[in-house]
Structure 1
Amino acid sequence: MRSDLGQYYTHQNISKLLMSNILMKNPKKILELGIGDGALLREAKLKWRDSKIIGGDIDPKNIKILKKEFPNVDLFLINGLSSRLNHRLKIKLGSIDVGVCNPPYLVVEKSDEIKKILNSSRLGDLSDYRIVTSDLVFLAQNLLLIRENGELGIILPDGLLTSHQFSMFRKRIIENYSIKGIIELPDKIFKKTEAKTHILVLKKCRPKNKTVTIHKANHKGEIEDTINVDIVDLPHRMDYSYHKWRLNDFKKGISLESVKAEIFRGKFSKKELSNGDYKYIHTTDLKKDLKYQVFKPNKRVARRFRCANKGDIIIPRVGKRCLGRVMVIEDGSILISDCLYVIRVPQEYREALVRTLTSEYGQNWIKANSHGVCSRVISKIDLLNLEIQPLTL
């Protein structure tokens, strides 16, 4: 496993799960980009014994080891980000029946090559993406290499399916391809990372269905639950957790945006604040139980920096185990780190908002609306859509 190359190898149970969701019976050609330690390759050989399998990887050690195990498989040392990938693999564009892939997870530099790959695969322009990731490019490469009506099963990080910055990606996928299923995988499914991931199964054809089936899997590679989601709801998010929450717990209240809530994060990191002379709070200062906190006012600090003040509600913006904790500033003012949000609402809504955030509904909302591959993040856009529930909740 090479973390410097963004490689996190597939667990056998997940390899079986991915393969079981590809329905083509007798594909002639199967492609795996980023073969890693061969987990998907082994399952593909078991399922399609007579098919021609082509694989590629950037790590020469992987190629050397797997050539010994699979002497009849065409394996190539390749860079999966190259716009001439098909030439290196000695195949034509649109000639592959089935693609299986667990791509590397890295941020890649924008270039004319990447622009060409994204445009050709109908995933949009570089201007649609604030950042470009290797998993996005590998998905695009597979779509270029697979034939019409071919199938693709690919493991993707949480960000592509849940983050606002990839909403255009989700829109393009829905408009141009048929989604056959989405499977949310459990945490810690890969060694040496807590990356949150999903399996996306596509068919290279225009979409026809009005709903998409989304599943939740366990560590054994078993499907624990299944829901159907309207395709019009998928550009916002594609994950099981969010849509399950919407089905079960969504209640109509009044949004933070509607009450003109002011939401802002701290300006400085914990490291910057700890090197300074002023008192501050960070995620570690928020406890599991609701905390009302009094601070000494500091007019000098308040004149220079934006602080949390009396009546403000503090929640973590980012974290893994601290999300869901709440602090209320009962008096005074204090600096906050950039890992915290200040929520400032009119006084008549404060108690109801605190009750909402600390209720079972509020805690479920935070779990469902946070996103991220390792550490979880709540976006300001989502937070403004939080519905304040009545005090009778």
Structure 2
Amino acid sequence: MPSSSPIRSTNSDVLGRYYTRADISSFLVEQIDDHNPRRLLDLGAGAGSLSIAAACRWSDLEILTVDIDSGIASSYQEKLGRINFQDSRHLHIHADALSCELPDLLDTIRNPIDTAVCNPPFLIPKWSKGFSEILEDTGFSHCLPLPSSTDAAALFLAQNLRLLGDNSKLAIILPDSLVSSFKYSKFRQHLLTNYEVERVVQLPRGAFYGTDALASIFVIKKTKVVSEFLSIFKLGGDRSLSNRLVISKEHGFERLDYNFHYQRMRSRSSKLSITLSDANVLVSRGSLSTSQSKKIECPVFHTSDIGSECYGQWVDLSHFECPSDFPASSKLIMGAAGDILIARVGRNLEAKVLGVSAGNVVLTDCIYRIRAPEAMRNELLSALSSADGRQWLSSHAYGVAAKHLTKFDLLSFPLSFD
């Protein structure tokens, strides 16, 4: 794990680690097919669940584990001993997983590494000068967001590829930000253009202990022969694997999550392909942050005010109206009768949709306001709150923990699911 202190770490330990469940670790290792590994690397090994799963599958393997945590090495020997894995075939290196010196420490020139497994920390580390060298060696330096907002997982991916030999394979868990966020679209383009992504498997929430963080498994082959198509899957909560979806490499630049492409294919097969952006509607985002809403002397409508009993209903919000003597501002975004309100952020944002039957309320910036012609309001609210609409909203939102729905994606909402 990186030695730099985390800027963001939610529901994880001090190093930003989400510990992988044993069944997910075994599943990840099983995704590496048509491959006979000899020397395997587990970078930022943490509790060692991925290494143990690899040792269970390939007993004649040499395993290299790297971690910054000095107190974790002894536990590897104990765990490997339980499965009768030879001590001589395991080497642990106490080091920063993002150190530029790792190629020398691991002797990758004389003794190439042909396989790697990795569950990187889900955090944004304090930037180090050495990170630039890692990114430059793998070509990612030009396609990542600002250093202050680059996920550690992107750095771990680059470091793994930097350490692996030709025709090697990497199975790595990546957070949903790298899978579907717009800010990583250039990252995905570089990855898919220069490396063979053999498969992407979207994991269910609950795949890690103590969190419902959303992530996917990527199996990547380090080769110059890159396919124009890739296969994506979804692992269910019952650990059943979906049928394969085959998408073009170009569509993968946009996003790589199964739910998004499944819904896209359904929408494209629809009889009517009109989207929200094609209709005469106005989508606006609320104007007040949570902290600002606490400072004004007026009720403010927030996502927490959209209860399950309101879902898909026209609701009277008159009790949220500001007093008549409240000094209204043109900068405030208000919800009024006939508007449809939908959550922009939240773990279950797809379940927070309602119509305003009465009232004139101030909205937080966690809510979108949709103003549509009167003739289509009922149909639009029904579509957004239908089973298909709910699934569509969920699949187009992104985020490791709390999800976000962009205005661009909301405007692509199909007005018919026939």
TM-score (norm 2): 0.85
Please give the alpha-carbon distance, in whole angstroms, between the structure 2 residues aligned to 1:155 and 1:84: 23
Cα 1:220–1:315 change in 2 (3 A) is: closer
SS in 1 for 2:259: helix
2:8 corresponds to: none
Q: Residues 219 and 360 of structure 1: is their aligned pair in 2 closer, same or farther, counting only changes over 3 Å?
A: closer
**1:335 is matched by which residue type in structure 2?**
V
Q: CA deviation at 1:285?
A: 1.6
Task: For 1:100, give the aligned amino acid.
Answer: V
Opposite residue 314 of structure 2, the aligned amino acid is K
Do the aligned partners of 1:326 and 1:357 also contact (CA within 8 Å) in 2?
A: yes
2:293 corresponding residue in structure 1: 273
Q: Write the distance in 1 (CA, Å) between the matches of 2:258 and 2:57.
A: 27
The corresponding residue for 1:255 is: 275
More off after superposition, 171-180 vs 56-65? 56-65
Matching residue of 1:21: 31
> Could you tell me how far 1:331 is from its partner in structure 2?
3.8
- SS in structure 1 at match of 2:220: strand
Match of 1:292 among 315, 337, 344: 315
* Matching of residue 92 in structure 1 with residue 119 in structure 2: no
Structure 1 Cα separation of the partners of residues 237 and 213 of structure 2: 14
Alpha-carbon deviation of 1:311?
A: 2.9
Decide whether the 8 Å contact of 2:144 with 2:187 is kept in 1.
Answer: no
Gaps of 5+ in 1: none
Q: CA RMSD in A?
A: 2.5
Q: Could you tell me how far apart the structure 2 residues matched to 1:151 and 1:74 are?
A: 20
Matching residue of 1:209: 227
- Please give the residue correspondences for 1:1-393 in structure 2 after superposition, counting only pairs within 5 Å: 3-70=13-80, 71-72=87-88, 73-92=90-109, 95-125=112-142, 128-129=145-146, 131-219=149-237, 221-250=239-268, 251=270, 252-259=272-279, 261-288=281-308, 289=311, 290-295=313-318, 296=321, 300-303=327-330, 305-389=332-416
Query: Partner amino acid for 2:297?
Result: D
CA distance in 2, matches of 1:34, 1:329: 50
1:322-374 deviation per Cα after TM superposition (whole angstroms, max 9, x unaligned) = 42322223344211122211123344543332232122332121121111111
Distance, in Å, in 1 between the alignment partners of 2:110 and 2:45 is 20
Gaps of 5+ in 2: 1-10, 81-86
| Distance in 1 of aligned mates of 2:287 and 2:358 | 21
CA contact (8 A) 1:266 1:341 kept: yes
Say if 1:150 and 1:254 are closer, same or farther in 2 by CA, change over 3 A. Answer: same
Partner deviation per Cα, 1:83-108 (whole Å, 9 max, x = no partner): 23323434339921001111111112
The one-letter code of the counterpart of 1:98 is: T
- For residues 238 and 279 of structure 2, the distance between their equivalents in structure 1, rounded to whole angstroms, comes to 45
Kindly, what percent of the aligned residue pairs are identical? 28
* CA displacement at 1:203 relative to structure 2: 0.4
Q: Answer whether contact 2:267 2:273 (CA < 8 A) is retained.
A: no
Shift of 1:247: 2.7
Decide whether the 8 Å contact of 2:334 with 2:363 is kept in 1: yes
Contact 1:154 1:199 in 2 (8 A): yes
Cα distance in 2 for partners of 1:368, 1:218 equals: 14
Matched residue SS, 2:168 = strand
Query: What letter is aligned with 1:122?
Result: G
Q: Which amino acid aligns with 1:91?
A: T
What residue identity is the alignment partner of 2:116?
G
Give distance in 2, aligned partners of 1:37 and 1:327.
45
Deviation at 1:43, TM superposition (A): 1.7
8 Å CA contact 1:13, 1:219 repeated in 2: no
Distance 1:224 1:303 in 2: 49
**Quick one: distance in 1 between partners of 2:335 and 2:75?**
57
Moved more, 131-140 or 320-329: 320-329
Runs of 4+ in 1 over 6 A off after TM superposition: none
Cα drift, residue 190 of structure 1 = 0.9
The equivalent of 2:5 in structure 1 is none
Q: How far does residue 53 in structure 1 lie from its aligned partner after superposition?
A: 1.4
Separation in 2 of the partners of 1:48 and 1:148?
20
Aligned equivalents of 1:58 and 1:387: distance in 2?
48
CA distance in 2, matches of 1:351, 1:93: 68
C-alpha contact 1:293 1:327 (8 A) present in aligned 2: no
Partner SS, residue 173 of structure 1: helix
Q: 1:60 to 1:36 in 2, by over 3 A?
A: same
Provide the C-alpha distance between the structure 2 equivalents of 1:204 and 1:25, rounded to a whole number of angstroms: 13
Q: Counterparts of 1:24 and 1:78 in 2: how far apart (Å)? A: 31
Number of positions where the alignment pairs a residue of Structure 1 with one of Structure 2: 391
How far the C-alpha of 1:205 sits from its partner, in A, is 1.2
Aligned equivalents of 2:232, 2:144: Cα separation in 1: 29
More strand by share: 1
Structure 1 letter corresponding to 2:137: S
**In the superposition, relative to structure 1, how do residues 198 and 249 fare at CA in structure 2: closer, same or farther (>3 Å)?**
same
Mapped to 2, the partners of 1:38 and 1:348 lie a distance apart of 59
